[in-house]
Amino acid sequence: MKVAVLMGSPNDREKMKGASDTLEAFGIEADVRVLSAHRNPAEVTALASTARESGYVAFICGAGMAAHLAGVVAAHTTLPVVGVPLSGGAINGVDALYATVQMPRGIPVATVAIDGSVNAALLVVEMLAISDTALADALAADRKQRAGA
C-alpha cells in the first residue's frame, strides 16, 4: 500500500514532510516526488493514470499559488486526491486554497488547511482505516496521543 506525495517545487519539501512522516508512522509507504502540473504535465498524467495498477491507494498533492497539481491528478485517476494548498506568494496561500478547493463538479479534491500536510495524511489514513481494523486501532491510539499533547 503506497500513497503518492507530490509537490510542485523542490522548495515545498519542508511543508510536505509532515505528510510523508505521518504516513510512514502508520506503516504506509510514501512515494515522495516533485512534479509540477505546469512543468511536468506528461509525467503527472502518466503517474495518475496508471496509479491504481501500480499499487497506489491515494494521492496527496501540495502546491502553491495557482495550485493546479491536485486538480490535474484528480482528472486522471479515480483514487482519492487530497490537496494541500501551500503558503507563499502575494497572499500567503489563500490563492492556493481557492485554486485547490474550486474543482469542477465530478473531479473531487479533498482540501485541507494551508500547509496542512499532516492533516492530509491523517485523512488518507482515515479513508484506509474504513476497511483495515489494525489501521483503525492505530489511528485511534494516535488521536488519543494527540489529544494529550
Q: What secondary structure, in 3-state letters, does 48-88 show?
A: HHHCCCCCEEEEEEEEECCCCHHHHHHHCCCCCEEEEEECC
pLDDT value, residue 110: 98
CA distance 82 to 70: 7
Per the DSSP assignment, residues forming a β-bridge with 34 are 7
The whole-model pTM stands at 0.97
Residue in the structure block whose three cell numbers are 509525467: 43
pLDDT value, residue 147: 95
pLDDT value, residue 5: 98
pLDDT value, residue 89: 84
pLDDT value, residue 121: 98
The CATH code of the domain that includes 28 is: 3.40.50.1970
pLDDT value, residue 81: 98
Task: Note down pLDDT in tens along the chain; length 149 residues.
Answer: 999 999 999 999 999 999 999 999 999 999 999 999 999 999 999 999 999 999 999 999 999 998 999 999 999 999 999 999 999 988 999 999 999 999 999 999 999 999 999 999 999 999 999 999 999 999 999 999 999 88
Question: Total domain count for the chain?
Answer: 1
Strands (E), the chain: 2-7, 29-34, 56-64, 81-86, 110-111
Residue-number span of the structural domain to which 72 is assigned: 2-148
pLDDT value, residue 92: 96
CA distance 12 to 53: 27
